[in-house]
Structure 1
């Protein structure tokens, strides 16, 4: 570890020199012009280990969550259009990007996402993709004021524009090392593109900011273009490498244009046919751990290590973890992770192999915001695994489907989600990073204490409502002027009000569960539903969810920005909007 520390510190010094040379070209007015002008609470997590390191992380002050960032993307129009047309390939092209007035030349930019990307790909009325910007894709060592990569997220499935922001804010409030985040206006070749959320990518700069450059990062992932459902070798959209169903037929392609709406009551969903049920662990048909179809993630997405279930000591058994390392790792690093997983699953030496305090804080905040597009549900993705000297912890990522936005059923399921079994479609045994800790009475009490801390310090004192109100004041005009919004301004306003209502009821239920007046397990709630909080005043569809994240917007699904070679489609979008307004 000492050698790694030396290498990382030397690399940091090189980045500082490169940064000064690469970011000297300033264009426009920097709304966050100097770090001395900012008082953002987001900078509180930055490392103060040395003046040199602090100087290399100037992006921290620029990502001020109380202000609106600006991104100006200058790019060859033909290459931009081609990239959008081939968005599912997620290939980088070169662009010059000006962030808050500082220009970084020749950076890589590409569309990003999974189900959200495919929804845009398969709709001809919008190009409102989320994007990933990699500053050193073409210039070694290049950063934006010390940051390696940043993403700008398109607010898919979130009419309120607030779900991901609030999730990270709640995480940060309890002491979770969440990524930095801030709202941002995006333009392309001088034309307004959209109002997005900028999020710091968890990479080497993040480690410098939060961990003094120490440790290794992984982003366990078994999606492979199939939204987490089987298909480790799936190659869309040409059908090659399609996984077989248990009955021998090919997996059908999803028609995103004609997807049926999710039923209001997910409990009434028809069951899978018997021959489509995910095989149980160890039955010879599933993957490693809590596998699935062919050990490639399956219908519960848990193959090849993403569930953190220990299977054996073979590095190949955890390819979903190690193939997605965000730092340069070795077999020795991988062996430490496997050893930690082995002890986690056995429940031995937990404090040696798990950063118990950090993990409990994460799950407390995660439980509050009810995000099932995550580790705690079927697909077991959208999180980072951090390892340092053999100890593991979990870090948050991708919360646009929080607050019940992901196949969560009715509002009561979200408001009353059981705090002691906060999983969906899986058991706590299949999610050992949470399950094994909750088996220990001391850790369960500590977890409850963190839930209570969030309730007291973020909700009961009125902070949640005030935060939402402040954010509405900050963002409403930007939402109103968003040329590619997935929603209307009226729907946005209703979503903000509905989200406020949902948050208050959710915390009322959590408080009741902590007090013992409401059952805190799923089984207990099923046995006595009379004690649950009445969630009938909440309409989840107004906030936005996976099934309706792109409906009812400007142009139906977000019209393309003017001047992007899609005039005919933009005219059709305007016609659609007029028809929507009549309805």
Structure 2
């Protein structure tokens, strides 16, 4: 029996252990809530728009532009927000967008990659090894990439950091761009606190290269375009060299496009399946998955590294050990956000590309990339196709069986329910709450003047302004359709929608081309801007919808009144210059976006903040120790 003289010592020891456990809980909670913070997060991707001056030898710069398709690095100094970085590697980037600019007579607005350690080993930009600036081709809104990543972040998907950048070359205006962190070592260090593991950029491959044009021309070893478009008059790569490309590629693309019902120059069933980007298991040969392994971020990865990916793919196709080989929860979040934004230049179409695989210790997660053609900018025939895109068969031009990453996960009831839960969180928390519309208007307030003065823009300032109300309406209707699909009032599969078209959301008021498309600026129709800044004719996309400035003034007034239109507010809107038809349209839109609710005051990534395992164990141990101390005291007191 424990004597009374030991009770105090034992009790003190248990209490100390409990207090120590509590301290560890607080520490673990702090670690969980505060990821590793890198200097470049605030310095490059903070609230302020970047200013980048590329200081470069003019002859070398012109040579790079003249041979843009080669993607060869040249040396330049960068002045970023007033601070200089010397001897930085810069090169053109992109595939389809690059080729399209090459074919233009009046533009050299290329996307550009900056690699700080290319010439100076170990050099970074505030800890960032590389980032790129995208030329925003095909996006009249300037926001599709940004909003897609923002939705991904909202639901807890790890994404690159992004910001806008005003770019000059030797002090002369060059253009207004979107800046993106690249998936390399600094990203892994920031997000996963390690530079370990393997990163693969999945791009559709035909033959031995990264292009599909050999499928058309009969040539091999080509750079494959992100959207499948070859460079008119461009060059073909063989290793690091270029070979002449067929001059008739454009005509053959057009012919294939016509044969394929206007859905682009890609046979239904997909180009991507030929290189492993579809994640269909073929065999154990590394060469069968060149869409993955030809685009490894590190050339130091071994055959053993690649075999781990193939093992995961094999288990995926067999539906076995899914959680051992895949970060299932992260991928379900990714699939939910990806389904919402309808980006078909991706895994979900015949292209089977534009995503990253991150493999570490045999476990795979998927990282999003290239959303400039989201919201129907690629292979979408109509606004209805985008708005009513089915959530339970979210593929286009291929079968679910052709895309095992989606098919095998959604075959598991538990995973499908979780996927639906994430869709619900996005619909309610990002769209119905008003975050989407408010973010569009906040971004517009931030970038509008830059867009107005964008010297190399692919679209006019008027086209940009006209796109924003259409963009908001498209997003609003998309969320409304997903809500109906989740509730069962709208079919959630392709077959179901084909059988019951009357149940679909009506999108007859939206002209999708106003938002831009894969073949450049897009949206230039027969309409023109009339009196009062209203779009008339075929271009406006939403009939008599008010322009951006009127919308920005009208929507907050309606939101303050919970979307309810009374005589006083109607009179106020009429005095602002809106017509009764426009008031009706804005009221309907606002009623579906009642404004920020309490949930919006929380972090956008709150749904992703699941309890860390270490934190959970600490809580459990602490509770056991505290319970033990209390029981011991009670027993000891009774014995004493």
Q: 1:46, CA displacement in angstroms?
A: 7.2
**Residue in structure 2 matched with residue 133 of structure 1 by the alignment:** 114
| Deviations 1:256-314, CA, capped at 9 Å, x for gaps | 99969989xx9954999xxx967xxxxxxxxxxx8xxxxxxxx5222222111111112
**Residue in structure 1 matched with residue 79 of structure 2 by the alignment:** 98
Cα separation, 2, equivalents of 1:408 and 1:393: 28
Q: 1:427, CA displacement in angstroms?
A: 1.3
Does the CA contact (< 8 Å) of 2:55 and 2:77 recur in 1?
yes
**Residue in structure 2 matched with residue 445 of structure 1 by the alignment:** 417
Cα separation, 1, equivalents of 2:351 and 2:96: 13
Q: 1:529, CA displacement in angstroms?
A: 0.3
Q: Which runs of 4+ in 1 moved over 6 A?
A: 238-242, 256-263
Q: Does 1:322 align with 2:304?
A: no
**Residue in structure 2 matched with residue 170 of structure 1 by the alignment:** 151
Does the CA contact (< 8 Å) of 1:170 and 1:454 recur in 2?
yes
| Deviations 1:177-207, CA, capped at 9 Å, x for gaps | 0100001100100011111000000000000
Which protein is bigger by CA-based radius of gyration? 2
Q: 1:104, CA displacement in angstroms?
A: 1.1
Cα separation, 2, equivalents of 1:370 and 1:189: 39
Counterpart mapping for 1:108-507 below 5 A? 108-213=89-194, 214-223=196-205, 224=209, 226=211, 230=215, 233-234=221-222, 253-255=248-250, 268-269=261-262, 299-327=270-298, 328-507=300-479
**Which sections of structure 1, spanning at least 5 residues, go unmatched?**
1-43, 49-53, 243-249, 279-289, 291-298, 554-583
**Residue in structure 1 matched with residue 54 of structure 2 by the alignment:** 73
Cα separation, 2, equivalents of 1:413 and 1:364: 17
Q: Describe the shift of the 1:162–1:177 C-alpha distance in structure 2 as closer, same or farther (beyond 3 A).
A: same
Does the CA contact (< 8 Å) of 2:343 and 2:371 recur in 1?
yes
SS at match of 1:508: helix
Cα separation, 1, equivalents of 2:263 and 2:380: 15
SS at match of 1:302: helix
Does the CA contact (< 8 Å) of 1:488 and 1:552 recur in 2?
no
Structure ranking higher in helix proportion: 2
Cα separation, 2, equivalents of 1:270 and 1:356: 32
Cα separation, 2, equivalents of 1:222 and 1:406: 16
Q: Describe the shift of the 1:162–1:447 C-alpha distance in structure 2 as closer, same or farther (beyond 3 A).
A: same
Q: 1:226, CA displacement in angstroms?
A: 3.5
Does the CA contact (< 8 Å) of 2:69 and 2:234 recur in 1?
no
Cα separation, 2, equivalents of 1:99 and 1:232: 40
Q: Describe the shift of the 1:46–1:270 C-alpha distance in structure 2 as closer, same or farther (beyond 3 A).
A: closer
Cα separation, 1, equivalents of 2:417 and 2:523: 42
Q: Describe the shift of the 1:190–1:277 C-alpha distance in structure 2 as closer, same or farther (beyond 3 A).
A: closer
Cα separation, 2, equivalents of 1:413 and 1:349: 35
Counterpart mapping for 1:502-513 below 5 A? 502-513=474-485
Q: Describe the shift of the 1:472–1:271 C-alpha distance in structure 2 as closer, same or farther (beyond 3 A).
A: closer
Cα separation, 2, equivalents of 1:239 and 1:187: 27
| Deviations 1:415-437, CA, capped at 9 Å, x for gaps | 00001111111112111111110
Residues matched between the structures, number: 472
Q: 1:468, CA displacement in angstroms?
A: 0.6
Q: 1:103, CA displacement in angstroms?
A: 1.4
Cα separation, 1, equivalents of 2:214 and 2:489: 38
What TM-score does the superposition give when structure 1 sets the normalisation length?
Answer: 0.76
Which of the residues 492, 501, 516 maps onto 1:529? 501
Does the CA contact (< 8 Å) of 1:122 and 1:256 recur in 2?
no
Q: Describe the shift of the 1:359–1:240 C-alpha distance in structure 2 as closer, same or farther (beyond 3 A).
A: closer
Does the CA contact (< 8 Å) of 1:217 and 1:386 recur in 2?
yes
| Deviations 1:393-422, CA, capped at 9 Å, x for gaps | 110111100000001111100000001111
Cα separation, 1, equivalents of 2:114 and 2:371: 19
Does the CA contact (< 8 Å) of 1:340 and 1:390 recur in 2?
yes
SS at match of 2:474: helix
Cα separation, 2, equivalents of 1:318 and 1:372: 21
What TM-score does the superposition give when structure 2 sets the normalisation length?
Answer: 0.70
Cα separation, 2, equivalents of 1:137 and 1:256: 39
Cα separation, 2, equivalents of 1:473 and 1:239: 40
